[in-house]
Amino acid sequence: MIFELSFLAVLLARVECAVSSQSNFSLYAYGTGLNPGLRLFYGDGHAYVGSKAPSFISQAVNITLSEKGDDAQFVATPERTVGWAAQPTMLVDMDTNSFDPVGFTWGNETLDNSSSTVGFGIYGGWAFHRNDEGTIEMKFYATPTNESDVYLVKWNGGETKSVDGISISLRTQAPVVITS
């Protein structure tokens, strides 16, 4: 009986690890007034969604993300060769008066007090951020750029604040492509 319980405990621990960590994934934006499934990509240190990179960005690259560490960070991996010395980590500004771009930071950069690189996760294919109080939040917005179908992704730290943008969900579910 003790052997069976020990075996069951080890099995459950392995299942929990498999469920709680997501391997590499891409994120796609969905929201009212937005072409469904615009892919998230890295552009000069910020997160964008769109059908292409805007012309004003010097370095744009499609990325996959993975959840890393006990602190649940989203770490970006480029889908082509770039000159990155390390992999950047996703970042949001948690200040209640902020409406700032979702960014990426490198391990050796100093963050301001309201920025957070931890607490990210995927639940049922939906990306979220867990704040310091443990509340799960999905405050992602797409703000238009000067090019069609390209949006800068922002985080609405002051969720009741009036903002210029489209509330979006970031999902691991790619859009359905219908071919004739």
Q: Per the structure block, which two tokens stand in for 52?
A: 């292409």
Residue at 177 is within a domain: no
Residue at 107 is within a domain: yes
The 10s digit of each residue's pLDDT in 73-103 is: 999 999 999 989 899 999 999 988 889 999 9
Q: What's the rounded mean pLDDT across residues 50-65?
A: 95
pLDDT at 171: 98
pLDDT at 51: 92
CATH of the domain at 85: 2.80.10
Residue at 51 is within a domain: yes
Distance in Å from the first CA to the final CA of the chain: 59
**pLDDT at residue 124 tops 80:** yes
Number of structural domains the chain divides into: 1
Q: What separation in angstroms does the CA of 60 have from each of 15, 53, 169?
A: 37, 6, 22
Query: In terms of residue numbers, what domain contains 165?
Result: 24-171
pLDDT at 147: 94
The 10s digit of each residue's pLDDT in 142-154 is: 999 999 999 999 9
Q: For residue 6, what pLDDT band results from cuts at 50, 70 and 90?
A: very low
Residue at 108 is within a domain: yes
* Between 5 and 100, the higher pLDDT residue: 100
148: left (phi > 0), else alpha (psi -120 to 50), else beta? beta
Query: Considering the chain, what is the average pLDDT of its residues?
Result: 86
Q: Could you tell me which residues are beta bridge partners of residue 76?
A: 65
Residue at 165 is within a domain: yes
For 8, list phi and psi in degrees, rounded to 5: -65, -40
pTM comes to 0.84
* Between 109 and 144, the higher pLDDT residue: 144
Q: For the ranges 5-14, 22-31, 37-46, which has the lowest average pLDDT? A: 5-14
Is the Cβ–Cβ distance between 108 and 172 less than 8 Å? no
